[in-house]
Structure 1
């Protein structure tokens, strides 16, 4: 295995921190939780950032390519953040292993179906009868991924897995009248259970904390450890 393959997690993490994609501070999430870190995939627009990202996705996929469940024909990127991830990762997979991935395709969905020209909801490879692997940034509540899966199934494709950049490792927020401290699964755990497919991540919260430990960022480490202890999922 090459150095690039063995170090892709570290390279990706360092690139995200240096590029301001992964930041530390105080961030209020849609769930209402106050997080000490935030991952903004919308900032992965610069060439070097996208190159590091596509390499990390490709190595994550390739490293699990021996699993039958991850034999796939199409990488599907949910609109909008998943679109460049799917396109760049397909190109990187073909570069890394043209014999295995040289003819893999990509596809993505439109937010609204087009009613003229080629029409339809999906751009790129038709999904009918094909094995589809979803690539996205972060699964928080799982809503976007479920919408993508609905599109795939409606188009006649077969979901074989999901790959994301970061696994926050935290349980799903409770309903409005629920107990925030009650144990529960993560969004990733729910997707695995509901659809019976693997959900892989480039990084986990544990990986992020390990890197902060190497950097000596003690205050950020302390806040992340408290957050992890408070919200960690039981899956």
Structure 2
């Protein structure tokens, strides 16, 4: 139960990520220990202009997904600015008909003064979309789902920037599904991505500037990728 934006918007996002140096081609040792021919680091969306444009891509992806929702939730820490900025972008999105979408996020440590607790923002209620940059092990999603359900609300979807479409595990014991597919299956909710490895390959095929990386990315997908 995964979803993505139409390919034109997705490829536009890939170009944007490349221009911001958030997406790079080369040889990178990633958290799993694998050597990847590309690297996506959403933490490098680190200025007002970049985050503003990123939020528009998130808002477009969510609006186009058809997922019914009432509010956003940003898991600490990366999800906090993403939920905030996306809520702002949705407020002026033409498909939202003037809806003002509330958002909330969590702290890692509970406060013992002021309002206290670990939740900040609007009360969790209705259908809640969890916003993050990527899904690696699914830990952040699991914690978010628990928080949302404990508040009596309903997790409606997960919204991410990039789906690597990659199986986990050692080379001789690869998982049957990607982390994104596992989250969708485990919680029975769609995972909406702005772009995916397929869209990166689409750009490589269309733009000769990146042709030198085609073989390496295709080989990596053949070894670790999912359909």
Q: TM-score, normalised by structure 2?
A: 0.90
- Alpha-carbon offset, residue 191 of structure 1: 0.8
Q: Does 1:83 align with 2:80?
A: yes
- Alpha-carbon offset, residue 6 of structure 1: 8.3
Q: Name the structure 2 match of 1:218.
A: 211
- Alpha-carbon offset, residue 7 of structure 1: 4.7
Q: Which runs of 5+ in 1 are unaligned?
A: none
- Alpha-carbon offset, residue 209 of structure 1: 1.1
Alpha-carbon distance change, 9 to 233 in structure 1, aligned in 2, over 3 angstroms: closer
Q: Does 1:228 align with 2:225?
A: no
Q: Does 1:52 align with 2:53?
A: yes
Q: Name the structure 1 match of 2:197.
A: 205
Alpha-carbon distance change, 153 to 161 in structure 1, aligned in 2, over 3 angstroms: same
Distance, in Å, in 1 between the alignment partners of 2:201 and 2:50 is 21
- Listed one character per residue, the Cα deviations across residues 130-167 of structure 1 (whole Å, up to 9, x for unaligned) are 21101110111111221222222222221011111111
Q: Is the 8 A contact 1:15 1:49 kept in 2?
A: no
Distance, in Å, in 2 between the alignment partners of 1:29 and 1:155 is 35
Q: TM-score, normalised by structure 1?
A: 0.87
Q: Name the structure 1 match of 2:3.
A: none
Alpha-carbon distance change, 25 to 98 in structure 1, aligned in 2, over 3 angstroms: closer
- Alpha-carbon offset, residue 46 of structure 1: 1.5
- Listed one character per residue, the Cα deviations across residues 13-64 of structure 1 (whole Å, up to 9, x for unaligned) are 2121011111111211221111111111111121222122111111111112
Alpha-carbon distance change, 20 to 209 in structure 1, aligned in 2, over 3 angstroms: same
RMSD: 1.9
Alpha-carbon distance change, 85 to 91 in structure 1, aligned in 2, over 3 angstroms: same
Q: Name the structure 1 match of 2:162.
A: 166
Aligned-partner SS, 2:103: strand
Q: Which runs of 5+ in 2 are unaligned?
A: 1-5
